[in-house]
């Protein structure tokens, strides 16, 4: 498996940007220099993250999200430990 992360990645299996193999490896995301644990989707080239908002769900059962603009830095969690 490659050590490069995709430009865009989503945690929702319904998304075309979902990748189970990469997510199983463990991904961390820094947004504007701060570690975020509630990232639902990110795009590095466009500079945004989609964060879950509490435990609220929409009518389809997906978590409610908010899209924020800024610097996005995804990384593999296992690379951080070693």
User: What's the pLDDT at 11?
Assistant: 94
Asked whether residue 79 carries a pLDDT value surpassing 80, the answer given is no
Query: How large is the average pLDDT for residues 31-41?
Result: 96
In this prediction the pTM is 0.87
d(CA 45, CA 26): 21
Query: How large is the average pLDDT for residues 30-35?
Result: 96
CA atoms within 13 A on the CB side of 27: 25
Nearest one of 46, 15, 44, 14 to 27, comparing CA atoms: 44
Query: Parallel, antiparallel, or unpaired: how do β-strands 63-69 and 48-57 relate?
Result: antiparallel
Q: Which value, in Å, is the radius of gyration of the alpha carbons in the chain?
A: 13
User: What's the pLDDT at 82?
Assistant: 52
User: What's the pLDDT at 4?
Assistant: 87
Q: What is the mean pLDDT of the chain?
A: 92
């Amino acid at each position: 498996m490659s050590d490069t992360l995709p430009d865009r990645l989503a945690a929702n299996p319904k998304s075309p940007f979902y990748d189970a193999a990469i997510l199983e490896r463990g991904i961390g995301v820094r947004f504007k220099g701060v570690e975020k644990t509630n990232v639902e989707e990110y795009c590095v080239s466009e500079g945004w993250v989609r964060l879950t908002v509490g435990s609220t769900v929409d009518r389809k059962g997906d978590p409610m999200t908010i899209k924020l603009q800024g610097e996005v830095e995804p990384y593999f969690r296992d690379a951080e430990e070693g």
